[in-house]
Amino acid sequence: MKATFVVAQLAIEIAERISRVMRSSASRAFCWTSTRAEPQRYAFCPCCWSVKTPAMTTPCASSKQYGGQDTTFTATVTRCAIFGRGGYCKGGHQAPLGAWRTWAGVALPAIAASVIQAVEVPYLWPLYKPYNLNSKGVINATTGPIYLGGADDLVRGNVTFYQSDVTKNVVFIDDLVYDQDPTLTSALCRNFLGIIAGGHVLIADNALNRPRPDASGVQHFYGFPNFTLHAVTMSLTGTVGMEDGFKWTLGAAYYPSGPSTPTAVTCGAGNTTSGGCINQTGGVIEQVITPTFAGANTGMRENRTVDPCQRTNRKPPFFPSTGRYLDNKYYEIDPVNVDTYAQVSGFFTRLRGRSAP
């Protein structure tokens, strides 16, 4: 699915937390069918797998298919929890997570099938004139949690995503990047994404970002090491960090965890991690700083850099910026008496409140 933020609006009303085993349509959900007598650690949807009869059944009806079975897009997103080695959904039922909303405004121009599947077109929301005159370039979700990401989904445009519930989080289930590298001179300010969460902004501890064991207990990546993000992120009340580390103040059980793969994933020379680097081009604004790793073979290490667009007067639509300054410390000087290196050094020392380097 090659959707972009230029014409796609994420409008999913989340009912409960996504399964860490099966992935929603936004993250390439899939459903397996099998004739194995005892599938081990595989995820099966209830219409494909019978709890009582572990054998292949009739393929899922179109109304119950997960993305990946038909078109990699699912209008109504569901999930099921997987228990034990049997690989079946508890109770044999899918739980609804929400749905994509169709666009009912001005008809969009034809979009080539090579760009996006026809089944997705009704759910694309234009963000600019002349198709959406009311758009301000801001996507607002009033509830959550909200899950963002998708290695094949590219951001094209200037957008601010705002999740306004302070009790809910924005969680990245996979990479989220622009259609061009923002550090390239030719792509300066081509795209600019701002993400604001009422609660925390977190990287999911899932099988895409972190290793998981197979039936023999050997750790594997089902996605790829390292998390990549192009955006400026802001948490209004919490932190920008790891899903398995933002509660670290509650004790060691909440520290960023492992495990590591047999071949250690490093972020920088000698820094072994569980998931690699956090490669973010953009910025982080938060109320609380939390750890992203807790020693060797745990968590992920930060590898962040500024988006060159941040050095201009541009910003994502309506993204908060500092428009007011208050006096913190000031010192009145007579320029006649501050004209030597020693005097200038002493002046800045007093402003810092500590010794000059």
**Cis amide prior to 259 (ω within 30 degrees):** yes
Tokens coding 171: 């969680």
CA 37 to CA 183: how far, in whole Å?
52
Which residues contact residue 347 at a Cβ distance below 8 angstroms, ignoring those fewer than 6 apart?
331, 333, 338
Range with the largest mean pLDDT of 41-45, 66-70, 263-267: 263-267
Q: What value does the mean pLDDT of the chain take?
A: 75
Instruction: Identify which has the larger pLDDT, 337 or 38.
Output: 337
% of the chain surpassing 70 pLDDT? 68
CA 357 to CA 348: how far, in whole Å?
10
Q: Does residue 356 carry a pLDDT above 60? A: no
Specify the range with the lowest mean pLDDT, choosing from 99-103, 126-130, 240-244, 263-267.
126-130
- Where b means 16+ CB within 10 Å and e means fewer, 234-257 reads bbbebbbbbbbbbebeeeeeebbb
Q: Does residue 219 carry a pLDDT above 70? A: yes
Range with the largest mean pLDDT of 2-6, 11-15, 152-156, 328-332: 152-156
> What confidence tier does 38 reach under pLDDT thresholds 50, 70, 90?
very low
pLDDT of residue 269: 86
> What confidence tier does 71 reach under pLDDT thresholds 50, 70, 90?
low
> What confidence tier does 61 reach under pLDDT thresholds 50, 70, 90?
low
pLDDT of residue 93: 57
Give tens-digit pLDDT for 234-277: 999 999 999 988 888 888 888 888 888 877 899 988 899 999 99
Mean pLDDT of 287-302: 92
* Per-domain boundaries in the chain: 1-125, 136-311, 326-357
> What confidence tier does 281 reach under pLDDT thresholds 50, 70, 90?
very high
Give tens-digit pLDDT for 183-218: 999 999 999 999 999 999 999 998 889 988 888 888
Q: Does residue 284 carry a pLDDT above 90? A: yes
Instruction: Identify which has the larger pLDDT, 9 or 62.
Output: 62
> What confidence tier does 330 reach under pLDDT thresholds 50, 70, 90?
low
CA 31 to CA 48: how far, in whole Å?
8
Specify the range with the lowest mean pLDDT, choosing from 83-92, 120-129, 166-175.
83-92
- Where b means 16+ CB within 10 Å and e means fewer, 60-99 reads beeebbbbbbeebbbeebbbbbbeeeebbbeeeebbebbe
3-state secondary structure of 140: strand
Q: Does residue 42 carry a pLDDT above 80? A: no
> What confidence tier does 102 reach under pLDDT thresholds 50, 70, 90?
very high
Tokens coding 357: 């380097």
